[in-house]
Amino acid sequence: MKSGLGTQQVGAVSVAFPLSLYFSGIGLTFGVRGASYISRLLGAKENKKSK
């Protein structure tokens, strides 16, 4: 069974996929950090700061 992909196509995926994982990780880091911060503010009854 032959996939039909050449070395350039496989190389492009080998470069693009780790980059997409990196940027997803950065986005998740900020999202989780922000959610944690807001949850702590709401738990401390500091509603004005959380908005």
pLDDT at 49: 76
pLDDT at 36: 94
Q: What is the pLDDT of residues 3-48, one digit of tens each?
A: 788 899 999 999 999 999 999 999 999 999 999 999 999 999 887 8
pLDDT at 5: 82
Taking the model in full, what pTM does it have? 0.64
Contacts for 41 with CB less than 8 Å, ≥ 6 apart? 47, 49, 50
CA distance linking residue 19 with residue 16, whole number of Å: 5
Q: What is the CA radius of gyration of the chain?
A: 20
